[in-house]
Each structure stands twice: as C-alpha cells, then as structure tokens.
Amino acid sequence: LTIDNRFMLAVSRLLVLAITIALSGYAQAEAWHKPGHRESKETVSVLLMPIDIELSVLTTGGVKEVRADWTATAEQLASQALRRELAQHKDKMVLYEEPSDPETAHLHSQITKLHATVGTTMFVYSLLPSVTPPTAKDSSDWSLGEEVSSLRETSGADYGLFVYLRDSYSTAGRKALIGIGALFGVSASAGSQVGFATLVDLRDGSVVWFNTLARGSGDLRTESAAQETIAKLMKDLPL
Amino acid sequence: VIRVSLRRLLILSLFGALLGCESMPPSLEGSPTVHAGYRPASDTTEAGLWLRMDEAEEDLKTSGKLITGTPANEYLEEIICKLDSGLCEDIRVYLVRLPYFNATMAPNGFMQVWSGLLLRTENEAQLAFILGHEIAHYQHKHSLQLFYQAKHTANMLAPFQVAAAAGGVGYAGSLAEIGAYGMLMKYSRDHEREADAGGFKMAFAAGYDPHEAAKVWEDLQEEKDALDEGATSLFLSTHPSSSERLDTLKQMASTAEEPSSGWYKGAERYEQVIDPLKFELFQDELRLRQYPATQVLLDRASEAGERPSEIAFFQAELYSARAEPGDLQKAEAAYRQSLTYSDAPPESYRELAMIYIKSGRAKEAVPLFQTYLSKRPDAFDRSMVRAYIQRIDSGEE
C-alpha cells in the first residue's frame, strides 16, 4: 500500500459535490437566515476564520488533482477580498490568530473541520430537497456546538465567519471530452466552483446565516475574480 | 446500418484525437531518488499530492488510533535511522492501533506501522526489512508514479466510457478497461519489487540478517494457509506474487556474505520493547475472529518461549470466543492452566468464574471473583463483578 485511502475518499467526496451541482442545474439558492434572528443595531465584532480552500485541476479522466500553488494564491486573494468585503460593514472585524496553547489550537482546527462537515450537509440539503430527511426539513437550529465559545474567549468576538471553497478547472482534454460527450447526449462533470459561508453566533454555536455558491464558472486565481466570488458569497450577510 | 457505423466511426475518430490531448505521465525512468530535506516545487502535481497528504497526516494524528509515547515508538524511529537512507530526519513514523499486518508510506514522508505487524514480526531484523521496504517507496516516489499512472489510465479510459455510453464501441471499451487496469496492477507490482530490493539493500548494509527478510513472508503464508481460503491480510492482497517475492528474497540472502562479527537479528531487544504491548495486541487480534490465524500466532509465541501464562490465557479466550462444541471445556482447562503460573492475568479468575456460572457451579465462582477484585481493585467492570457476587450470595444465580 502506498497511497492512503483517505486520499481516494477525499477525491470521491469532491466528485459527489460536483455531481450535486450538475443535478441542481447550477441553481443559486437564496441565503438562509436563521428564523427570528435580528441584525444587531449595535456594532458587533466578527471573527474571520481562516478560509478552508482547495483548488484543483479536473483531468480528462475525471481525476481531480490538487494544485498547491493555486491553492496558496487563492487563499491569499480570497482572504484579502473577504477582509475588504467586511470592511464595508459597520461591524468590527477580528482576524483569527492561532493560540499558542496546542490544545486550544487543536480544538479550533477541529471546529473548522466540523464547519466543513455541517456546511456540506446544509449545502446538499439546500440544493437537493429530495435527499433531505424529513426530520431535517426546515431545520432552524443548525449549530457548530457550544465549544465554539472557545473562539469567543480567545478573540473576544461575537460572531464567527467561516468560509469553505472548492474550485476546480477542466483541462483542455476534459473540455474536449465534455464537448464530444454532449454531441452524443452523454454528460460528464466539468470543473466547478462550490463553496459556502457561515455566520456563527460564538455564544452558543448556532448558525445564524448560511450562503452557498455552486456554479460552473468563477475563478479564484486572479484578484478581480476572487473579489467577484467573495462578493457573491457574502451577499446578504446580516451585518 | 450505415448511419450507425458512420456514427461509430465519428466517435472513434473524435476520441482518438482526444487521446492525444493529455500526454503520457512524465517519465520517471531510472528510479528517481529523494534527497534529504526534499520538498516538491509548488506548481507540480507532486505538491498537490503532498498538500493532501499533509491533511491526511493531521487527521491521523487526531484520529485517536495512534499508540504514542511507548518504547515501541522510539524503537521504530531508531531502526529507521539505523537504515542508511539519509532520510531519517524526513520520515515520520506512526504506530497505528489496527490488528492487521500492514505498513504504509505516504508521498510526503509519513509512515504508518499497524500494530498487528508487531504481533507478527519476531525480531528487529524482520522489522528492519519491512521499514526499509517502506523507506524505498518514499525514496523512489512510488505514490507519485502510481498517481500519474492512475490519472493516465483514467484519461485513457474516459473517451471509451463516453463512447460506450453513446453506444459507440461495444466490447472494445471493455477490453481497453481490462488492459488499462492490468497495466496499473503491473505498475504497482514493479514498485513492490523495487521496494523489496531497496529495503533489502538498506537493512543488509546495516548488518541485519538477510535470511530474516524472507522469513516474514513465510510466516504470513502459514497464517494464510491456516485460514484456508482467500487472503484476509491487506498486505498480501495488495502485494501480489508472494512466492516470487519469497524466491527473490531468499536468492538475495543466499548470495550475501556473512561479516566476521556475524549477522544481527536483534531478537532480545525486540522482545524487550514489544513484549509489554503483546497483551493488548493479542486482545485486538482476537477481535478479528479469524481463529485459525490467531492459533498460528499463539503456537508461534509458545514455541518462542513467550510468557506461558499469557499464552494459556489467550488460548482460553480463543476457545471461549470461538464457542464451537466442546470449546467451553477447553477454555476452562486453558484458564486453569494459566492460573498455575504466578504471573497469570487476573482476568483468568474472572473468566473462569463466568464459566462456572454458565455451567451451574455459581457458588464456586465467588472466590474467583473476589480474587479478581483483589488483584484488580480498579477494574473497569468491578461494579458488575460485585453485582454478580451479590446475586450468587442471594441465590439468584
């Protein structure tokens, strides 16, 4: 055994996401607001969490290949765009700083992973009502759990803003394959941009706002394109 | 009819053009080698693979499946550094609590050694040949090569799949698939051969007894034979042609010249480090419920003169878990056997008591339970054992 199974698992997870988009016909859902949640009249502070981001190439055969260099660039550009976006709001922005205590740092990284999992579930349910279990229909109590209060303690912020982005780009070969397939009525998945942003109340972990992005276009490798993507994702942010 | 064949011709020619779109995997001929402190350039496929594996490594660290802080952890690191690959500083080794014979190497340099492996290797030399094998995988970038090959295979097959979906190619597509996957398997086998040879060279140079390299595989074969059918070992199923491997390793060993100081096996040191883990390792092994294979391991441990009280205890546990006709009696005898030794695991008392309850001798169980509690005052199941005693005393059992 040389390649870790987790690697294949991650690939298949992303494939599922891509299929989800294909099924949804790239519908842009409206942002979700927690019922009854009111935008505070007073100034609040928002903690900007590190973006969970990965850019990859979709090869002819449908294998996703992570691009480390694009990912590094996109992380920088998207963070900049996010800071610029938040600066337009009246509220105070706090940047996340990793705590020196390893246990707290570990807890925070686990919270980021939990956000990816909870967010993916919300994302799939919002796009595909048919796969949503009856008990989860119209859920209004999505939460990352009370442990997020640790973020409040270390940052002093009232809310946490989490962003998750996965962006893939078809190679020329993949585009040709899609084109030829389309001629004969066979569809193959294409490069796509999927992501979500979540505003979390750091007192109790409840999700107060959630917005998704799922489309076959968009880019994160240039400054203007990253700004456009982030602006779309931050639309209707209740701050 | 003409329309169909025209359509077929069109599809075939279109995807023929497509095959040229993405080129062959970069040739890695002549076995690349990784030097100390190596990191791939950030705009490469390899860097993407490393990024993913860095994440996987973080996941592993927080998985709760690791055995950490034991002398065995240091021992593994020590052996890796004894093997002169120059990569000792770059390789991180993790001991994973999984009861199978397996070790893996990730392209970014983290190695997993599964705990079931330590139940199966008998000395340091055997372990060294396996660790050397894994280091060679890293040294020659086998994961990256396999990734390229898998990508290439998928790219090659994609047009066939589209064409098949469009009703274009029929069985030619299936043939292409068989051929492509066959190629992937062969690729992986070539890597195993290269890793075997590289690992052998490293461990041999470090003075380890080369005859031990083949011994591990012979032992595994014995387990496999005991299980009659199919390979349940993950390692065996992904590491094919074991007889060929065995022959090659034996051949390499036979031409090796023994140094004047003699070969190093490191059986004593190995036992000293691994012995404290054995109880837990056998407990995990039993949970697999592959009794014939476990029996082979118990027999081997017995032959090697390992602690007889523990072997008798696990022999009893095996009978008790297998529960075939007559096994309850055999288990009772084996627990008793275990209790003839002064260092018997206290659990023997508890288990023997349970057999007494099952066979209608509940009164005799009480003193055994009491001995268990006195030897393990903090036992996790002490409340339950006390409850049993109470029930027996009140005549409910």
A224 CB within 8 Å of a chain B CB: no
Confidence of residue A189 (pLDDT cuts 50, 70, 90): confident
Strand A52-58 to A159-170 pairing: parallel
Which pLDDT score is estimated for B3? 47
- Across the interface, whether the CB atoms of B155 and A63 are under 8 A apart is answered yes
Confidence of residue B339 (pLDDT cuts 50, 70, 90): very high
Which pLDDT score is estimated for B176? 64
Which pLDDT score is estimated for A3? 41
Q: Which residue of B has its CA nearest to A185?
A: B166
Q: Give the range among A185-199, B1-15, B53-67 with minimum mean pLDDT.
A: B1-15
Query: By CB neighbour count within 10 A (0-12 exposed, 13-18 middle, 19+ buried), where does B290 fall?
Result: middle
pLDDT at B329 over 50: yes
Mapped onto helix, strand or coil, the DSSP state of residue A238 is coil
Which pLDDT score is estimated for B231? 47
Structure-model confidence comparison of residues B262 and B13, the more confident one: B262
- Across the interface, whether the CB atoms of B43 and A63 are under 8 A apart is answered no
ipTM of the complex: 0.72
Q: Provide the 10 A C-beta neighbour count for residue A157.
A: 21
B14 CB within 8 Å of a chain A CB: yes
pLDDT digits (tens, 9 = 90+) for A69-100: 999 999 999 999 999 999 988 889 999 999 99
Q: What angle do CA A231, A127, A22 make, to 5 degrees?
A: 90
What gap in Å lies between CA B75 and CA B87, rounded to an integer?
Answer: 16
Whether the CB-CB separation of A81 and A233 falls below 8 Å is answered with no
Residue % of chain B over a pLDDT of 90: 58
Q: Which of A49-58, A184-193, A209-218, B231-240 ranks highest by mean pLDDT? A: A49-58
- C-alpha distances in angstroms, B7 versus A182, B13, B53, B168? 14, 10, 44, 7
Q: Which two tokens stand for residue B282?
A: 């056998």
Of B14, B56, B146, the CB nearest to A180: B14
- Cα Rg for chain B, rounded, in angstroms? 27
The string over B343-352, giving b where at least 16 C-beta atoms fall within 10 Å of a residue's C-beta and e elsewhere, is ebbbbbbbbb
- Across the interface, whether the CB atoms of B11 and A63 are under 8 A apart is answered no
Q: Which two tokens stand for residue A190?
A: 């294409």
pLDDT at A130 over 60: yes
Average pLDDT, chain A: 85
Q: Which residue of A has its CA nearest to B60?
A: A6
pLDDT digits (tens, 9 = 90+) for B21-45: 554 555 444 567 889 999 999 999 8
Which pLDDT score is estimated for B238? 53
Q: Which two tokens stand for residue B233?
A: 């070992």
Which pLDDT score is estimated for B229? 57
Q: Which two tokens stand for residue A135?
A: 């008990």
pLDDT at A9 over 60: no
Of B47, B143, B162, the CB nearest to A3: B143
What is the average per-residue pLDDT within A217-237? Answer: 92
Structure-model confidence comparison of residues B123 and A174, the more confident one: B123
What is the average per-residue pLDDT within B87-107? Answer: 93
What gap in Å lies between CA A74 and CA A221, rounded to an integer?
Answer: 5
Confidence of residue A11 (pLDDT cuts 50, 70, 90): very low
Which pLDDT score is estimated for A78? 97
Give the length of chain B.
Answer: 397
Query: How distant is the Cα of A112 from the closest Cα of chain B, in angstroms?
Result: 13
- Across the interface, whether the CB atoms of B102 and A1 are under 8 A apart is answered yes
Report which residue type is found at B117. Answer: L
A60 CB within 8 Å of a chain B CB: yes
pLDDT at B11 over 60: no
Give A167's strand partners.
Answer: A55, A193
Give the length of chain A.
Answer: 239
Q: Which two tokens stand for residue B82?
A: 């004894």
What is the average per-residue pLDDT within A59-70? Answer: 88
Ramachandran region, residue A15 (left: φ > 0; alpha: ψ -120 to 50; beta: rest) = alpha
Structure-model confidence comparison of residues A146 and B184, the more confident one: A146
Which pLDDT score is estimated for B178? 64
Strand B66-67 to B92-96 pairing: antiparallel
Report which residue type is found at B331. Answer: A
Interface probe for A, chosen from B4, B22, B193 (most Cβ of A below 10 Å), is: B22
Ramachandran region, residue B134 (left: φ > 0; alpha: ψ -120 to 50; beta: rest) = alpha
Give B368's strand partners.
Answer: none
Query: How distant is the Cα of B237 from the closest Cα of chain A, in angstroms?
Result: 10
- 3-class DSSP string for chain B: CHHHHHHHHHHHHHHHHHHCCCCCCCCCCCCCCCCCCCCCCCCCHHHHHHHHHHHHHHHHHCCCCEECCCHHHHHHHHHHHHCCCCCCCCCEEEEECCCCCCEEECCCCEEEEEHHHHCCCCCHHHHHHHHHHHHHHHHCCHHHHHHHHHHHHHHHHHHHHHHHHCCCCCHHHHHHHHHHHHHHHHHHHHHHHHHHHHHHHHHHHCCECCHHHHHHHHHHHHHHHHCCCCCCCHHHHHCCCHHHHHHHHHHHHHCCCCCCCCCECCHHHHHHHHHHHHHHHHHHHHCCCCHHHHHHHHHHHHHCCCCHHHHHHHHHHHHHHHCCCCHHHHHHHHHHHHHCCCCCCCHHHHHHHHHHHHCCCHHHHHHHHHHHHHHCCCCCCHHHHHHHHHHHHCCCC
B56 CB within 8 Å of a chain A CB: yes
Whether the CB-CB separation of B61 and B112 falls below 8 Å is answered with no
Confidence of residue B183 (pLDDT cuts 50, 70, 90): low
Task: Show residues of chain A in contact with B162, CB under 8 Å.
Answer: 177, 180-181, 184, 186, 188
Which pLDDT score is estimated for B1? 41
Which pLDDT score is estimated for A197? 96
Q: Provide the 10 A C-beta neighbour count for residue B357.
A: 19
Which pLDDT score is estimated for A171? 87
What is the average per-residue pLDDT within B356-377? Answer: 95
Give the count of Cβ contacts less than 8 A between chain A and B.
122
Average pLDDT, chain B: 85
Query: How distant is the Cα of A110 from the closest Cα of chain B, in angstroms?
Result: 9
Which pLDDT score is estimated for B2? 43
pLDDT digits (tens, 9 = 90+) for B197-256: 999 999 999 999 999 999 988 888 888 888 865 445 555 555 545 678 888 888 888 888
Output A127-132 pairs: Cβ under 8 A, ≥24 positions apart. Answer: A127/A20, A127/A21, A127/A23, A127/A24, A127/A27, A127/A29, A127/A212, A127/A214, A128/A20, A128/A23, A128/A24
What gap in Å lies between CA B70 and CA B104, rounded to an integer?
Answer: 20
Q: Provide the 10 A C-beta neighbour count for residue B182.
A: 10
Confidence of residue B345 (pLDDT cuts 50, 70, 90): very high
What gap in Å lies between CA A60 and CA A174, rounded to an integer?
Answer: 4
Whether the CB-CB separation of B322 and B298 falls below 8 Å is answered with no
Of B151, B156, B165, the CB nearest to A65: B151
Cβ-Cβ contacts under 8 Å for A136 (sequence gap 6 or more): A125
pLDDT digits (tens, 9 = 90+) for B264-311: 999 999 999 999 999 999 999 999 999 999 999 999 999 988 999 999
Whether the CB-CB separation of B219 and B191 falls below 8 Å is answered with no
CA nearest to B24, candidates B188, B143, B148, B147: B148
Q: Strand runs (DSSP E) across chain A, as ranges?
A: 32-33, 45-48, 52-58, 64-66, 92-95, 159-170, 193-201, 207-215
Q: Which two tokens stand for residue B144?
A: 């990256």
